[in-house]
Amino acid sequence: MANLLDQLKSFTTVVADSGDIDSIKQFKPTDSTTNPSLIAAAAQMPAYQSIVDGVLQEAREKAGDSASDKDVAAAAFKTLAVAFGKKILEIVPGRVSTEVDARMSYDTDKTIEQAHDIIKQYEDAGISRQRVLIKIASTWEGIKAAEKLETEGIHCNLTLLFGLHQAIACAEAKVTLISPFVGRILDWYKKDTGKDYTGTDDPGVKSVTEIYNYYKKFGYKTVVMGASFRNTGEIIELAGCDLLTIAPKLLEELQTTEGTLERKLDPAKAAGLDIKKIPMDKATFDKMHAENRMAHDKLKEGIEGFSKALEDLEKLLEKRLSELPKPQAVSK
C-alpha cells in the first residue's frame, strides 16, 4: 500500500514549507516556499553558515570600507532570501516563493519596487522569473501591487490570507496563487472559543474548502495553496487542493503513514454547488475585513510577526558580520 504523501502527490502539488535545504532534498516537493521566520531559522543553522557568510562578504565589498556593520547587514538582508531561493531552485523542479519585506505590506509602490529588485536578483543569476513567486501579504495595498506585477509577467503568491474577501480580491486581481493559512485560523478559533476542532469541523479546513469551491465554481485561474498546517488531519481533509505547502515534520509523518487517501476537494463537485458571487471593491473588502474578527486579527498579527522576524534577522546578520575578519586594505 502506498504512503499518504505519494497518494497526495497524485492529485495535489506538494510544496515544502521550509528554508532547510536538506529537508527539501529528502521529500522531493515540486515547489518550495519560505517566509521571514523560516529564513531567519535557516540562517542560524551551522549547515548554511557559508551561504550567510557569502552574502555578508558580498554586501561588504559592495558597500565599501566606510560602511558600518549595520548598513552592510541591512544590504545583505535584502539578498539573503534570494540566496536561499537560488539554492532551493537547484533542487526543486518548479518554483520558489520569496517574500517582500512585511513592513511594506500597506505600501503598494514600495512592494512593487522590492518585487522588481527580487526578480532582478534572480534574473541576474540566470534564473527565469517563471520560476519565482513573489510573496506579498493579502492587504488591499498588497493585492493591488500584485495586480500590477502580474501584468508584467511577475507571478505572485498572496500570503497571510484568512478570509473569503481577501481570496476574492486576489482572484479578481488575477494573481497566480494564494496561500490561505489553515493552522493560524484554527489557532484563533481555539483561543476564542476554548474548543478543539478536528476533521471537517476545523475552521481552517472550512475556510480553504470555501475558497477552493468559490474559485472552481466561477472559473478563476488563481490557484489555492493551503498553508500553515498544525496536523496531518488538516492536510487529509484538503486532499485535492491545487497545492499544499507542508512543513518537513508533517511531510515525514505523511511519508511514513500507509492507508487510503480520499480526494476531498474536486473542481467537478465545486461546479455543481449553489454559491453566490460577491462583487469586490475596496469598500466591500474593508467592510468584510472589519466584520471578520479572525481575519482582521490574524492579518495584523502575521504582518507584525514577520516584521519582527526581519528585525531579528537584521540583528543576527549584524552580529555575524562583526565576527567575520575584515578585508585587509591594499597598500598602494
Specify the residue for cell string 532534498.
25
Domains of the chain: 4-34+94-305 (3.20.20.70)
The active-site residue out of 86, 135, 144, 298 is: 135
pLDDT of residue 12: 97
- Which cell numbers hold the place of 42? 535557516
Rounded to a whole number of angstroms, the distance between the first and last alpha carbons of the chain is: 71
Q: Residue 216's closest CA among 242, 191, 235?
A: 242
Question: Which segments in the chain show pLDDT lower than 70?
Answer: 327-332
DSSP string, 182-203: HHHHHHHHHHHH-----GGG-H
DSSP string, 259-306: SPPPP---HHHHHTS--------HHHHHHHHHH-HHHHHHHHHHHHHH
Q: Residue 269's closest CA among 215, 305, 217, 306?
A: 217
**120 catalytically annotated:** no
φ, ψ dihedrals at 14, nearest 5°: -95, 130
- Tell me the whole-structure pTM to 2 decimals: 0.92
pLDDT of residue 331: 47
Which of the 8 DSSP states describes residue 47? G
pLDDT of residue 328: 59
pLDDT of residue 64: 87
pLDDT of residue 327: 64
Find out whether 134 and 119 touch, Cβ atoms under 8 Å: yes
